Amino acid sequence: MAESSPATGDEPGLRLRLGLADLADQYGRYVDYRREEPQPYGGGFIGLVSGGHHVLYRSADPGRRFAIEELTTSRVPGQVPVLSSWLWREETLSTREDGSPYWHENSSWEVQPENVEELLGLVRNWAQTARSMARRDALREAFAVLDRSGPEPPRPGRGL
């Protein structure tokens, strides 16, 4: 599969990268977009190799993320791996009984390359939720009552 020019973005892998970069620009105050090496993931799929992660973290809560793992056909030295699908996961940072951290999977799904726009729509919804939660939290902070005791009540015998 030949890679399209960056101007068209027709090739699914390139379209995903361009779409994620655009979403990172749009929601940059609320999400942090990174390329990361994938962490070992429960055995994976037979015949497929993890090709890398696109990860978005909530800026206000880095313990929540949306991770996209590229699944490619087996890599042969000298040959370009072929994108097979993407596996997305919405995850929350949790703690095991022994105190070690791990990413708890809340939801996940495999997406075929021809459905790249559906995947970008899921990422957009996740980023919009991150924005809404950050705005909600900012409003709560702005209108938080700092001292709940209130003013001193008037003393007996003194008028207002």
**pLDDT tens digits, the chain, 160 residues: what are they?**
444 333 333 599 999 999 999 999 999 999 999 988 766 544 444 444 454 589 999 999 999 999 999 888 866 777 777 889 999 999 999 999 999 898 899 999 999 999 999 999 999 999 999 999 999 988 888 887 655 566 677 777 755 5
Residue 43 is predicted with a pLDDT of: 40
For residue 117, the tally of other CB atoms under 10 A from its CB is 12
- Collapse the DSSP code of 141 into the 3-class scheme (helix H, G, I; strand E, B; otherwise coil) and give the result: helix
Distances (CA, A) of 141 to 51, 55, 57, 137, 145: 41, 28, 21, 6, 9
For residue 114, the tally of other CB atoms under 10 A from its CB is 9
This prediction has a pTM of 0.74
Domain chopping of the chain, boundaries: 12-142
Residue 1 is predicted with a pLDDT of: 40
